[in-house]
Chains A and B, each alone.
Chain A
Amino acid sequence: MTCTQYREWIDELVDGTIVPIRRAELERHLALCSACRGLAADLQTIRDTAASLDPLEPPAGAWLQIAGRLRQQGRVAPPTQADAKPATRHTALLAIAAALVLLVGGSIALIWTDFRGRNTAAPPMAAAPTSPAPAPASNAQTDVAVESVEAEFREAERHYQNAIAKLEQAARLDQAASGGPQAALDPQTAAMLQKNLQVLDQAIAESRSALRAEPQSAAAAGTLFEALRRKVALLQDTIALMNEMRKGNAAGAAQIVDGANKS
């Protein structure tokens, strides 16, 4: 047999699926052939390192977005009588707020995707605000893209503000209806969420000013998108938190608060 013919056996050796008779013959060949021995060692290293790669966890808000879109599409059954809580009005408002926030989150993601599609030089969403702006491929094309994105932004923001108002209203009603801390946000958590929202509002205002001063700056647009995305994520966390507290799941609520504190 030639080295090329031993190739398949080397893969089987690395995978641990080689039958004993082949293994014995391959080992005899490897003892004599340094090239095949090197290949086998390298493939084993690659296989072992690949198997040790850590699993990646999807972001905490991903399920909420999927659930929200399924509800919007009417693909899931409404809650049964047995699931319904006595305070149905604020629950319904919370669901509306969640749907609106999810809708706006989706809009922002779409706008961002569109922007990236039109201006491939734009930095990724996670880019730091201080990243230098890459030169646009075509100024005229970028002007159109920025104008279009700004128009879509304005529309998305209108819904966004509406969602925030509904969410705040839902939170107020929730607190009033439950009369206890279990179903409502405690003052410390509410203050933390409020503070984070203020910081994000400030970032949104500043990046919007920067974009107004430099409408063609991909870095400024990227920062604005990132701030909006973070605000949507924070609102999603707030909804998730209220749901966990309503269910009396203190551990789940603590995990969300911890995540919101880190973001």
Chain B
Amino acid sequence: MSPVASSARAEDMALVERCRRGDLGAFEELYRAHAGRLFSVACRMLGNPADAEDLLQEIFLSAHRKLESFRGESALGTWLYRLATNHCLDYLRSRAARTNQVTDALDDEAGQFEPGGRTLAEQTVTKMDLERALAGLPEGCRAAFVLHDVQGLEHREVAEALGIAEGTSKSQVHKARLRLRTLLRG
């Protein structure tokens, strides 16, 4: 571990220790440092800010309970991402079960090499187009895509956050990009 990472880890542990002692100010500090990123992930994974707001509360309440078991083996941010994505995935599964939705099967090869047509680089892809297309992704690869391409995590961190192998993270992000390509070329 680099000296910078080591110092950041020590700061994480000091903050966590204050939170464990019931220091609300310390937990607010933790909230202010991470809430924006976690809310962005929840919004993009759930596709609905109102649901994301409710879930954000559950994520932080759950984090407060589970800080007891945080040992600093991963960065606090990565640990929180894992907690948040687990909450989001549970929520999506439960929502799918309530509404009898069937999770999309992902055709790995769809739209990969077909020739002809304009490339995305030749048409204008707005942020809004991409936000809309994100909602059309299957949950697993949406989570990996949001963490990697939107939030900028490395595959190693995505794998840690989602509890999957690094190779699976690469494959999920690739699948997501292919599906988005198909959706955006519409």
A residues apposed to B, CB below 8 Å: 3, 7-8, 11, 14, 34-36, 38-39, 41-47, 49-59, 62-63, 65-67, 69-71, 73, 75-77, 109, 113, 117, 120, 124-126
Q: Of A55, A70, A113, which contacts B40 at CB under 8 A?
A: A55
- How far in angstroms is the closest Cβ of chain A from B76? 17
Contact of B145 with A by CB under 8 A: yes
Say whether A56 contacts B49, CB under 8 Å.
yes
A42 to B53, CA, bound (A): 33
- How far in angstroms is the closest Cβ of chain B from A34? 7
User: B49 contacts which chain A residues (CB < 8 A)?
Assistant: 56
User: A77 contacts which chain B residues (CB < 8 A)?
Assistant: 21-24
| Chain B residues bordering chain A, tally (CB within 8 A) | 53
Say whether A109 contacts B64, CB under 8 Å.
no
Say whether B113 contacts A41, CB under 8 Å.
no
Q: Secondary structure at chain A's binding surface: helix, strand, loop or mixed?
A: helix
Say whether B61 contacts A69, CB under 8 Å.
yes
User: B40 contacts which chain A residues (CB < 8 A)?
Assistant: 55-56
User: B23 contacts which chain A residues (CB < 8 A)?
Assistant: 76-77
Contact of B81 with A by CB under 8 A: no
User: B21 contacts which chain A residues (CB < 8 A)?
Assistant: 77
Say whether A113 contacts B54, CB under 8 Å.
yes
B residues apposed to A, CB below 8 Å: 21-24, 27-28, 31-32, 35-37, 39-40, 43-44, 48-50, 53-54, 56-57, 60-61, 64-65, 98-99, 112-115, 119-121, 125-127, 129-131, 145, 149-150, 152, 170, 173-174, 177, 180-181, 184-185
- How far in angstroms is the closest Cβ of chain A from B127? 6
User: B131 contacts which chain A residues (CB < 8 A)?
Assistant: 53
Q: Secondary structure at chain B's binding surface: helix, strand, loop or mixed?
A: helix
Known: A58-B56, A69-B61, A120-B99. A46 touches B150 (CB 8 A): no
Known: A63-B35, A70-B27, A76-B22. A49 touches B98 (CB 8 A): no
User: B60 contacts which chain A residues (CB < 8 A)?
Assistant: 66
User: A76 contacts which chain B residues (CB < 8 A)?
Assistant: 22-24, 27
A45 to B185, CA, bound (A): 12
Q: Of A52, A69, A113, which contacts B127 at CB under 8 A?
A: A52
User: B129 contacts which chain A residues (CB < 8 A)?
Assistant: 49
Say whether A57 contacts B125, CB under 8 Å.
no
User: A57 contacts which chain B residues (CB < 8 A)?
Assistant: 36, 39
A194 to B80, CA, bound (A): 39
Say whether A42 contacts B121, CB under 8 Å.
yes
Say whether A63 contacts B31, CB under 8 Å.
yes
Residue among A46, A54, A77, A126 with most chain B CB within 10 A = A46
Say whether A41 contacts B121, CB under 8 Å.
yes
- How far in angstroms is the closest Cβ of chain A from B31? 6
User: A58 contacts which chain B residues (CB < 8 A)?
Assistant: 35-36, 39, 53, 56
